[in-house]
């Protein structure tokens, strides 16, 4: 959660400069990506904690579910970053 706040602070600081618009845009994309991924990591951690000790199958299933959860976030981030570069 602190990374989101740091990214937002940088976005607001950089947004004041017209030359820094692409950087502010990228930082905004990063903040959105972090906000999207955080629940995925939280669920993945909780899932792995619920697995019995030594149950590799359970851990693999949790990791797979976490990757599936994060994938749309990564795709959205890439689209956002490309849009930032096109705005130049």
Q: List, for residues 78-87, the tens digit of each pLDDT value.
A: 999 999 988 7
Task: Give the mean model confidence (pLDDT) for residues 68-73.
Answer: 96
Q: How many domains are there within the chain?
A: 1
pTM comes to: 0.68
State the average pLDDT for the chain.
84
Cα–Cα distance for residue pair 26/17, rounded to 1 Å: 14
**pLDDT range class, residue 22, cuts 50, 70, 90:** confident
Task: Give the mean model confidence (pLDDT) for residues 24-48.
Answer: 95
**pLDDT range class, residue 11, cuts 50, 70, 90:** low
> What's the Cα-to-Cα distance from 59 to each of 2, 7, 10, 56, 67, rounded to whole Å?
27, 31, 36, 5, 12
- 41: containing domain: 2-86
């Amino acid at each position: 959660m602190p990374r989101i706040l740091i990214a937002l602070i940088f976005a607001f600081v950089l947004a004041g400069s017209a030359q820094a618009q692409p950087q502010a845009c990228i930082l905004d994309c990063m903040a959105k990506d972090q906000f999207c991924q955080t629940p995925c990591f939280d669920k993945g951690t909780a899932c792995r904690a619920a697995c019995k000790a030594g149950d590799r199958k359970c851990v693999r299933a949790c990791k797979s579910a976490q990757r599936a959860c994060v994938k749309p976030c990564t795709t959205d981030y890439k689209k956002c970053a490309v849009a930032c570069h096109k705005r130049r």
